[in-house]
Amino acid sequence: MSDLAIVSSSPHAHSGSSVRRIMLDVIIALVPALLVSVYFFGWDALRLTLACVITCLAAEALSRKAMGRNLGIDDLSAVITGMLLAFNLPPTLPTWMAVVGSVFAIVICKQLFGGIGYNPFNPALAGRVMLLISFPVFMTRWSEWTLPSPLAMDAVTSATPLGLVKTTIGSTGALPFTFDGTTMLQLFVGNQNGCIGEVSAAALLLGGIYLLVRRCITWHIPVAYLATVAVFSGILWMHHPQQNLPPHFHLLSGGLMLGALFMATDMVTSPVTKRGMLVFGVGCGILTMLIRKWGGYPEGVSFAILLMNAITPLINRATRPRVFGAPKGGKKQS
């Protein structure tokens, strides 16, 4: 019988894409940010990234084994969770905390929900938020950096730009520094305080472009997200320039670039329809700005994306495309 040909249902061709290849592309896209991070934060960046990646892989393998599931870790998704979690940690965080966050992300947020494809929340973000709530002091302890802006007169601070703005406006009612070209360039290349992987907008954009070219993401979520933040902050800035920093400051500071390009675009936890992606991006942008402007935390990217993750199924439902040939403007579904 061995000379019979293989019989299967069509199609008999495949695009050649695979989950593993997509994950590999995301890892490749994260490399520039990792290199910049090592440049600015040195050993700490490498230490946290390695701790998170190794823990995530081990946690994934062990929990799959414990649950008697057949899938291994070779889809590489745990590597991305580890890298993204590490990128969302401050450089001085103790290693054991990074390990705890990784275990939480993989075991609680991913594997207990059913593993790859079934997690409602981005595991790396959920891990970060768990650490932020559990260890608020360690999670907001930053290294020192110099602000070259004229108002600050090359002040040395150990706050993040967003944190500095929030505390100074809260206590003095005025902005701590002006946002000029020098500061902008500094923030763009990544010479600022923050989590190890979020500081360099330049490196993150490079990775984002790679993801777009490789069709791992579409433009919808990042563009909708960044544009919403720009418009929202622009309105605030024009309304009251003494109390608000301009849109380009908001785009280049905090975890926005990392969030918009790598976290909000996580396939599993974001909508599948193009219109849904736009809604998702706009929602992330509004929530981020609400938290940055009026929330208790200086930064709101993690919370914004997690909240939008929660309503992703509803967005998918609401943005179901009109079936080709179905009446226009009429009822979409029976």
Partner 1 sequence: MGFIKAKFNAPGGVHPAYHKDLAAEQPIAEMPLSASLVVSMSQHLGKPAAPTVKKGDSVLRGQVIGEAAGFISAAVHAPTSGTVKLVADVATAAGPRATAITIEPDGEDTWVEGITPCPDWHQQDKKEIVEKIAAAGITGMGGAGFPTHVKVSPPPDSEIDTLILNGAECEPYLTADYRLMLEKATEIWQGALIIAKALDAKTIYVAIEDNKPQAIAAMQEALPAEVGDAQVVALKTEYPQGAEKQQIFAVTGREVPAGGLPLNVGIVVENVGTTLAVWDAVVNGRPLTERVTTVTGGPVAKPGNVLARIGTSCADMVEFCGGTEGPVAKIISGGPMMGFAQADMSGPTTKTTSGLLLLDPTSVHAYESMPCISCGRCVGVCPMNLMPNELSQFLEAEDYETAEAYNVMDCIECGCCAFECPAHRPLVQHMRRGKAQVMLNRRKQAS
Contact set with partner 1 (CB under 8 A): 3-15, 17-19, 21-22, 71, 75, 114-118, 218, 267-274, 277, 316, 320-327, 333-334
Q: What's the min distance (Å) between Cβ of 113 and partner 1?
A: 11
d(CA 150, CA 152): 6
Vertex 44 angle, CA 38 and 50, to 5°: 85
Answer yes or no: are the C-beta atoms of 152 and 176 closer than 8 Å. Answer: yes
* Cβ distance to partner 1 smaller for residue 327 or 329: 327
For the record, the structure tokens of 211 come out as 């993801």
Write down the least CB distance from residue 135 to partner 1, Å: 31
Side chain identity, residue 255: G
Tokens standing for residue 227 = 């544009």
Cβ closest to partner 1, residue 17 vs residue 178: 17
If one counts every other C-beta atom within 10 angstroms of the C-beta of residue 68, the result is: 6
Nearest-approach distance from CB 259 to partner 1, in angstroms = 18
Residue whose CB is less far from partner 1, 19 or 108: 19
Give the nearer residue to partner 1 in terms of CB position, either 155 or 268. 268
Q: Whose Cβ is closer to partner 1: residue 74's or residue 180's?
A: 74
- C-beta separation of 99 from 54 below 8 A: no
Return the number of the residue (15 or 242) whose C-beta is nearest partner 1.
15
Question: Which residues lie across from 50 on neighbouring strands?
Answer: none
Report phi then psi at 10, rounded to 5.
Answer: -65, 160
Largest CA distance in the chain: 85
Which residue in this structure is represented by tokens 């998170």?
52
**To the nearest whole angstrom, how small is the minimum distance from the Cβ of residue 281 to partner 1?**
14
**Among residues 45 and 315, whose Cβ is nearest to partner 1?**
315
SS3 for 215? coil
Those residues with Cβ within 8 angstroms of residue 325's Cβ, 6 or more apart along the chain or in another chain = none
Nearest approach, Cβ of 84 to partner 1 (angstroms)?
A: 16
CA distances from 64 to 14, 60, 110 (A): 29, 6, 11
**Residue 322 C-beta: closest distance to partner 1, Å:** 6
Distance of closest approach, residue 66 Cβ to partner 1, in angstroms: 18
